[in-house]
Structure 1
Amino acid sequence: MADDLRERVRERYAGLAVAAGGGNEGSCCGSSCGCGSGEDVAVRVSDLSGKSYSEAEREELPVLAAEASLGCGNPVALADLSPGEVVLDLGSGGGIDVLLSARRVAPGGKAYGLDMTDEMLELARANQAEAGVGNAEFLKGEIETVPLPDGYVDVVISNCVVNLSTDKPRVIAEAFRVLKPGGRFAVSDVVFLGDKGHLPEEVLETVGLWTGCVVGALEKGEYEGLLAEAGFEDVSVEVVNVYEPETIEGLDTDEKRAAFREVPAASAFVRARKPAEAG
């Protein structure tokens, strides 16, 4: 099941990358989540990102980079980046957060983007070339196995991607591993504000909901617990926006909508810090 879900996510984001390259705006949890067909369930959360990027930030980037934003927040603003730092974006998509980060850590810093989808990597590299950003690099790989050394980066960011993983403890462990002592985890993500066990099994098993960023989300307390168990300190999950079930396509019965109303989903800022070395 995990491999099948991962492949569905890969296929879906490949399609979004191609659409973005053709000038069609997409969003992980936004207005074009319903790109599937046949047995796929189209799930969309209206304006999940909350227009998180300022007009000034959008003007820093090529049009296609801005339009290919597939997230649910603005982790660059959350991360409080400084010149000279090294940043890693887990699930970098079309590259908007990598390119914004690269600008903020210059001079002397670098931003890495990690994505498993060839089409997204191609789009991101094209956006990088158009933006003229030299201190960024896009890597192919999965967020459960980061192709960077231990203690290599100052900040790990991500934008509505951790929730898509079928092995979230490993993602968080990998983030901890690649961070330098004192390094920061600054992620925008989707969380549930209640017990996911109350959700109907048919909803939890719907692949379309996973690739729409909703049902793959952790409970708020789960997220906090996984970060603490991995060794992080100063853990916080700050709820930004709670979503009404009526905004989520695929919740097509009163029963499903009632379940989501009982256990609502929300966008959140997730922060944590790797402890500094003793002494």
Structure 2
Amino acid sequence: MSNDTPTPADTDGPTPAEQRKAVRERYSDIAADSSSRCSDDGERTDHDDQSRKMGYSDAELDGVPAGANLGLGCGNPTALASLEGGETVLDLGSGAGFDCFLAANEVGEGGHVIGVDMTPEMVEKARENASDHDGGNVEFRLGEIEHLPVADETVDLVISNCVVNLSPDKPQVFDEAFRVLRPGGRVAISDVVLTTALPSDIHADPTSVASCIAGASTVSDLESMLDDSGFEDVAIEPKEDSEEFIREWDDERDVSEYVVSATIEATKPAH
């Protein structure tokens, strides 16, 4: 795919405050709704089917607490990560903890996983799910991904699943990821990228931001952000087969005409 894709429509979008409010409200509602139906086996099956389309295996789905998978995301960042025992992993926008628990299974008792989410209801749900996880090596912190509650150079790997696009200040997100990574640390992110200019009504709609559409950036813009933050070996690969599940995100239009899932990888220089 060419990196010179059109930029979003030249229309004033929602303010950062409006974006954060829309995102927080949407995911608060999702957390509350999932809690009210946590014993619904049919709902669990629907979420698992959606996650299979994103690249998760049955073994992965069976290896996490039942309430952790909410069917969200646009890929499987843990599959990119080549996790090793004893590593420290940070998940940006950890939701109910799905990818955190998968990472915790991989890094083992000697490793540690931190999930950060700005939605109190999601953090509460993730902590409840942690009580059903045998590893004991995962924790969840309330915070914004633009201002991570994590110390400098304490993390080996930063993962995220369709969350960076939600941020109104993506360069700051990557700056923060760079700050908390140890030298030689890496980023392995699944997110959506913009493939063509958005219609003005989508670009200006806070709900479309919260639905992982209007906040998407082009590949070239993301490459520039990561480079400016200091990362090297930046690699962004769009996944055309993601149309299968992205077209289901909106009942009124096919949003796969505008965005596609992509893998985003980068490394912090070792010295």
TM-score normalised by the chain length of structure 1:
0.83
* Alignment partner of 2:267 out of 270, 273, 276: 273
- Aligned 8 A contact 2:247 2:256 in 1: no
Unpaired runs of at least 5, structure 1: 26-30, 33-45
Is 1:15 matched with 2:29?
yes
Deviation at residue 70 of structure 1 after TM alignment: 1.7
* Cα distance in 1 for residues equivalent to 2:67 and 2:51: 19
* Alignment partner of 1:72 out of 68, 71, 74: 74
- Aligned 8 A contact 1:69 1:94 in 2: no
Identity over aligned residues, as a percent? Answer: 44
Runs of 4+ in structure 1 over 4 Å off: 46-49, 244-248
- Aligned 8 A contact 2:109 2:136 in 1: no
The letter for the 2-side match of 1:225 is S
Deviation at residue 114 of structure 1 after TM alignment: 0.1
Unpaired runs of at least 5, structure 2: 1-14, 41-45
* Cα distance in 2 for residues equivalent to 1:17 and 1:76: 22
Deviation at residue 21 of structure 1 after TM alignment: 1.4
3-state SS of paired residue (2:68): helix
* Cα distance in 1 for residues equivalent to 2:178 and 2:214: 24
Alignment of 1:26-65 (within 5 A): 50-65=53-68
What is the CA RMSD across the aligned residues, in angstroms? 2.2
The match for 2:146 is: 144
3-state SS of paired residue (2:75): coil
The letter for the 1-side match of 2:189 is V
Deviation at residue 159 of structure 1 after TM alignment: 0.3
1:108-142 superposed Cα distances (whole Å, 9 cap, x missing partner): 11000000111101110111101233111100100
Deviation at residue 238 of structure 1 after TM alignment: 0.8
The match for 2:176 is: 174
The letter for the 2-side match of 1:50 is K
The match for 1:162 is: 164
The letter for the 1-side match of 2:68 is A
TM-score normalised by the chain length of structure 2:
0.85
Deviation at residue 203 of structure 1 after TM alignment: 1.7
The match for 2:16 is: 2
Deviation at residue 8 of structure 1 after TM alignment: 1.3
Is 1:249 matched with 2:255?
no
* Alignment partner of 1:98 out of 91, 97, 100: 100
Greater relative CO (CA pairs within 8 A, separation 6+): 2
Deviation at residue 169 of structure 1 after TM alignment: 0.4
